[in-house]
């Protein structure tokens, strides 16, 4: 049994899925095929990075997503001015 991982999202502590079946179950249906391809294509040297990426995607953080969207807009605007 894998150890339970936890993080905070919007000030609330939430459990982070940390096994392949748990991560897959936490993802929206439309993301599961891409997850399966990424996991099945990962070699021994990249599996940890692939797992970390999908663990974080399985626990949405609306506040962080807003910040990233704003930063992307700011960068796009900066590039269009330059």
Beta-bridge mates of residue 13:
8
Residue 7 has pLDDT above 90, yes or no: no
Band (pLDDT 50/70/90 cuts) for residue 6 is confident
Q: Which residues contact 36 (CB under 8 A, 6 or more apart)?
A: 24
Please give the Cα distance from 70 to 82 (Å, whole number): 18
Given a cut of 80, is residue 71 above it in pLDDT?
Answer: yes
pTM reported for the whole predicted model: 0.68
DSSP classification of residue 8: E
Q: pLDDT at residue 2 above 70? A: no
Domain boundary assignment for the chain: 5-81
More confident residue, 21 or 10: 21
Which residues are 16's β-sheet partners? 5
Contact 58, 26 (CB under 8 A): yes
């Amino acid at each position: 049994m894998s150890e339970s991982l936890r993080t905070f999202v919007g000030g609330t502590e939430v459990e982070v899925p940390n096994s392949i079946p748990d991560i897959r179950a936490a993802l929206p249906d439309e993301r599961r095929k891409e997850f399966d391809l990424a996991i099945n294509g990962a070699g021994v040297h990249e599996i940890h990075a692939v797992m970390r990426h999908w663990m974080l995607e399985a626990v949405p953080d609306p506040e962080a997503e807003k910040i990233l969207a704003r930063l992307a807009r700011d960068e796009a605007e900066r590039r269009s001015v330059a």
